[in-house]
Structure 1
């Protein structure tokens, strides 16, 4: 029995809690994230049981809770999720953050949209629904596709070499283009954030983001709470370069107090009833 994988051995609500949690821990050792509903379906237990187990594992520092489920804790120095993993990780939080970011968009603005973050893809999907004049510059092919054929949006894609497995165009073409750009807002994503800096796992991505920061009047960081109090390998910019941070309420007030004040200013994205699970 002990040699069976979690997917091969259904759990039950009647199983000893310690046994259930042992198998959940094993699952998270091999997988990045899941919703409570998915875990309940996979293991044949109730959603309420999954939530109680995840709460306890989170209190022991074994996983990090999200509104819809949980994510495995990883060393973010060099590790990053695939795009598919990122789409299901803190999905509700990212959607709420994108909606809150939209409140800072005004007609006639020039916006820089970051590459490499699913939250920026969600923001692009929201921007595509607007009917106001905007100029958008991005090196992300998903963002560009979402905003293509929108008569109200002047879209610029500086270009570069596509990073395999992503939508990111990296390299000197984009960085050179950005030297002469002056935008109103740069909506930025990040692999990791702490009270000193924003950081990335890939050097070329970090270099492009620095050029984007330099090209914008205001820098608004969009990051779910699972990315905080971590540091990736490549330092992008000091935290003082960030004007505002939009995140979810999973980032505690105690953690926020470690950041300099008054800049960056924190905005906690409100969750809608359908977001909570």
Structure 2
């Protein structure tokens, strides 16, 4: 945050709101130091943000506005959020996929963005329970067929079947049975929420169970989550951070959180970063030793 004492109220409040979203909460005494303003000024700013429904005031500070842990937004609503971060994460995650491999792509808009990055990876086998992800590959194959140019090495897509959720993900006993019978090299998984305490979580109980089967089926688990997912605890947890091999996130994740994540996850990939956690040039990937340095 800036130390400029002459910040306009609107600028201060925008900075406060950004800090609340990034960190999952702020304290009044921290804000007074960072903004170089009085305690009263910070409290007025928090009051204004609370009246606008942007934050929820708590004793000594503010936290993001809470919604029911079982609330599940639809695919279109989620698609409009953090679009640039999702694209960066998708590009970085695509680097984890080798030609000829078998990958699982679970539901979610960030995994959907990854699917579009994998169209030119030859000879993939893609297992998915996402209607939207399957459509990405089917549409590309139909377009190639329409101009009589079959895609050489086009992906083989295995769609699990199941009951469709608001996020266009297939879940339930049919999906679970299909996934239990398969083994994949890498699972790419989106999440509704992620935290040290609750691990990976989703508002949908059936989706949580299907995701558990996905995690068990994979040799390597890669989670794709932008920084706004951090600190959110949805209704049902389906995996601990210790179950994750790679976390791919964006540059909005603070240095403190990167260090915290590195204690639990073997590999942290920060999409779009030009510097590694140790301060040296990096393509966006930090190993645990580097990341722990902050």
How far did 1:57 drift?
A: 3.1
3-state SS of paired residue (1:107): coil
Find out whether 1:54 has 2:14 as its counterpart.
yes
Match of 1:222 among 224, 236, 241: 224
Trace 1:196-207 onto structure 2 (pairs within 5 A).
196=197, 197-207=199-209
**Kindly tell me: are residues 146 and 237 of structure 1, through their superposed partners in 2, closer, same or farther at Cα, counting changes over 3 Å?**
same
How far did 1:55 drift?
A: 2.5
How far did 1:84 drift?
A: 2.4
How far apart in 2 are the matches of 1:131 and 1:181?
Answer: 21
Match of 1:96 among 88, 101, 106: 88
Could you tell me whether the CA contact under 8 Å between 2:105 and 2:188 is conserved in 1?
yes
User: Larger C-alpha radius of gyration, 1 or 2?
Assistant: 2
Find out whether 1:86 has 2:86 as its counterpart.
no
**Kindly tell me: are residues 74 and 221 of structure 1, through their superposed partners in 2, closer, same or farther at Cα, counting changes over 3 Å?**
farther
How far apart in 2 are the matches of 1:106 and 1:153?
Answer: 12
Trace 1:20-35 onto structure 2 (pairs within 5 A).
21=10
Could you tell me whether the CA contact under 8 Å between 2:225 and 2:249 is conserved in 1?
yes
**Which residue number corresponds to residue 146 of structure 1?**
136
How far did 1:161 drift?
A: 1.4
Could you tell me whether the CA contact under 8 Å between 2:22 and 2:227 is conserved in 1?
no
Could you tell me whether the CA contact under 8 Å between 2:160 and 2:174 is conserved in 1?
yes
Find out whether 1:185 has 2:191 as its counterpart.
no
How far apart in 1 are the matches of 2:212 and 2:235?
Answer: 15
Find out whether 1:123 has 2:118 as its counterpart.
no
How far did 1:176 drift?
A: 0.7
How far did 1:189 drift?
A: 0.5
Q: Which has the higher contact order (CA 8 A, sep 6+)?
A: 1
CA RMSD in angstroms, aligned pairs only: 2.4
- 1:130-175 CA distances to partner (integer Å, 9 max, x unpaired)? 1411000001111001111255211101101112x33111111111
- 1:43-93 CA distances to partner (integer Å, 9 max, x unpaired)? xxxxxx7xx76334324x3x559xxxxx98443623343322211211100
Deviation beyond 6 Å, 4+ runs, structure 1: none
Could you tell me whether the CA contact under 8 Å between 1:240 and 1:260 is conserved in 2?
no
3-state SS of paired residue (1:257): helix
How far apart in 1 are the matches of 2:82 and 2:271?
Answer: 13
Could you tell me whether the CA contact under 8 Å between 1:187 and 1:222 is conserved in 2?
yes
**Which residue number corresponds to residue 122 of structure 2?**
132
Match of 1:110 among 79, 97, 102: 102
How far did 1:200 drift?
A: 0.8
Could you tell me whether the CA contact under 8 Å between 1:195 and 1:260 is conserved in 2?
no
Q: Any stretches of 5+ residues in structure 1 without a counterpart?
A: 1-15, 22-48, 66-70, 273-277
Alignment coverage as a number of residue pairs? 216
How far did 1:239 drift?
A: 0.9
Could you tell me whether the CA contact under 8 Å between 1:93 and 1:271 is conserved in 2?
no
